[in-house]
Amino acid sequence: MFRIRNLRKQFLNRLVNIDQTKLLYFLSLVVGLLSALAAAFLKNAIHYTHTFITEYLTTGTGIYLYLFFPVVGMFLTLIFVRYVVKEKISHGISRILYAISRKKSNIKAHNTWTSIVATTLTIGFGGSVGAEAPIVLTGTSIGSVIGRFFKLNYRSVTLLIGCGAAGAVSGIFKAPVAGIVFTLEILMLDLTISSIVPLLISSVTAATVAYFLMGDKVLLTFEVTGSFHMTNIPWYILLGIISGFVSLYFSKSTIFLEGVYAKVKNEYFRLLIGGSVLAGLIFLFPSFYGEGYDSLMSLLQGNSDAVFSNSFSENFSGNFLWFVLFGFGLIFLKVVASSSTNGAGGVGGIFAPTLFIGGVTGFMVAGFLERFARIDLPDNRFVLVGMAGMMAGVMHAPLTAIFLIAEITGGYGLLIPLIITSTVAYITTRSFEKHSIYHVQLAASGDLITHDKDKAVMTLMNWKKEIETDLIKVKPSSTLGDLVRIIAKSKRNIFPVVDEYNILEGVVSLDDVREIMFRHELYDSTLVKDLMIMPPSYLDKKESIETVMETFRKTGAWNLPVLDDGYYAGFISKSRIFSRYRELLIEFSEE
């Protein structure tokens, strides 16, 4: 162990003379390479697990084992997380954002592999979630680990985290531009020359590795035929509005349902409830088994009957009413299936469910328009554009939606419809919900970093660490003589007055006693309680940094006392806060 540490120290010492920009470029390539390998491994692990179950274990047994296997997968995931990982690893994107804002971009090293194992168990056995968020967590963990190994500063480690996210998305979809834009929109990294070059290197490296390992095989691939017609613009706007409201439903329902599951404290009882709900939904809607990309491909290829296969509506696939009911069931109950998977103990993301619901929404809108408005519309185009609209609404990431669908279709023939629908869906959702599903809870707790550098620095600042506790306390019953002796020993000019229970009763300033501190005849007759004054305000340790700054602004004070549940805890100074603010701003900004 000592030899390894010594070699690492020598290696790092040699790096001191290496140009840091060139080092960052090289590390971004390494992160992109490893992220792509992780994405390829996860996709293959899920695929072969799924194939083994569907082609070997369920041969000749009918569909009923398909109802049982997702519960088994969630149970194995629960055991793995509880006894091996020993901490929650779900909601990968939110964990990344929290690490950036509150943990100095420190993402634990075990996330480089634990998310892969847990997601394989969950999705490979049929859990109704996606693999994208876990692989993004894996990629960002790789970036964080490498950045910390090379002892890079906060900004550089954060950039490598972004490289990991870009590489993961690029590797799993073979969409390098979407990978970069995803990082900028979702992780909210600044778009600067110093940041865009490493992201480009990582993303294109990941896409190249993905092509080398898997060729044309990808989660979704479809070549759009035909041309765009201006007359269809109103229908793409309509699809955007509908997608926006469906996105709002999806986001609100996901947060609500997972909150309901979280209230069930017994993990195994929670698994039983969630597993039973998921099994029932898969029985009614077999398309809910797994990620749902097979069903999307069926819709894109015009084989909508495949979506009805083995379902309760299989015998009614020619009936339009049943078609409508079944379609609405797919749209509005998929969120229950995905929330039940994650809430009951599975590990997965909402990326795939979002695309699934968006595709079905686009297909349903096209079907309604064809039947009632007698408009001949290309179903597959509406499926693809609906996917983009849903992603733009749920994730508040219209550019990611546009470029992802454009890249997986092999070109930009759909660019105008994608822009129209994604923009309208985003505006519609944003009108009712300011933050995306990834950001809303972090924003509520004050842990969200945004592109606004002032707010970003305020989020990063932990003002409680700046509380000064070296001020000497005095009792209200102490005399002026006692106070003078304390002043002689102190290096500060403020003295908090507290009672025997450490309750703050007032403050004595050196300026307030300067004129009488040398009048010896007053030493015994004058008490501290006669000299103290009440501070203009006080702060509680539970307050946010925004409240701290606003209190300083309103009072005009330079020092304010801090309380902890009503008890005196120390003082905070405006100068110290602003000094720390500037340090963080320099660290956060481009160097």
pLDDT value at residue 353? 94
pLDDT in tens, 285-343: 888 998 888 888 888 887 777 776 666 655 555 667 777 888 899 999 999 999 999 99
Where is the domain boundary, 167, 185, 214? 214
pLDDT at 52 over 70: yes
Distance CA 309, CA 311 (A): 5
Q: Are residues 239 and 187 part of one domain? A: no
pLDDT value at residue 62? 54
Q: Are residues 322 and 418 part of one domain? A: yes
List, in order, residues 6 or more apart from 444 with CB less than 8 Å away. none
pLDDT at 533 over 80: yes
Domain count, the chain: 3
Q: Are residues 426 and 558 part of one domain? A: no
In a domain, 501, yes or no: yes
pLDDT value at residue 591? 46
The pLDDT of 403-411, averaged and rounded, is 84
More confident residue, 591 or 183: 183
Q: Are residues 468 and 440 part of one domain? A: no
Distance CA 588, CA 591 (A): 8
Q: Are residues 557 and 482 part of one domain? A: yes
Where is the domain boundary, 214, 247, 277? 214
Q: Are residues 161 and 34 part of one domain? A: yes
pLDDT in tens, 98-110: 888 778 889 999 9
In a domain, 40, yes or no: yes
Under 8 Å between Cβ of 504 and 497: yes
In a domain, 220, yes or no: no
State the chain's mean pLDDT as an integer: 85
Q: Are residues 236 and 207 part of one domain? A: no
The pLDDT of 141-147, averaged and rounded, is 94
pLDDT value at residue 452? 56
The pLDDT of 84-105, averaged and rounded, is 85
Q: Are residues 395 and 439 part of one domain? A: yes
In a domain, 377, yes or no: yes
- Give CA separation, 489 vs 211, 457, 499, 514, in Å: 72, 37, 21, 15
Q: Are residues 467 and 433 part of one domain? A: no
Four-CA torsion 291, 188, 103, 203, nearest 10 degrees: 60
pLDDT at 455 over 70: no
The pLDDT of 396-401, averaged and rounded, is 93
Q: Quick one: which of 89, 105, 108, 87 has its CA closest to 97?
A: 105
In a domain, 221, yes or no: no
> Is 0.85 surpassed by the pTM of this model?
no
pLDDT at 588 over 70: no
In a domain, 12, yes or no: yes
- Give CA separation, 40 vs 55, 118, 123, 133, 397, in Å: 22, 16, 15, 14, 24
Q: Are residues 440 and 306 part of one domain? A: yes
The pLDDT of 437-458, averaged and rounded, is 68
pLDDT value at residue 481? 85
CATH number for the domain that contains residue 581? 3.10.580.10
Domain span at residue 520 reads 457-588
Beta-carbon neighbour count of residue 258 at 10 Å?
18
Q: Are residues 175 and 261 part of one domain? A: no
pLDDT value at residue 54? 76
Where is the domain boundary, 448, 476, 502? 448
The pLDDT of 344-362, averaged and rounded, is 93
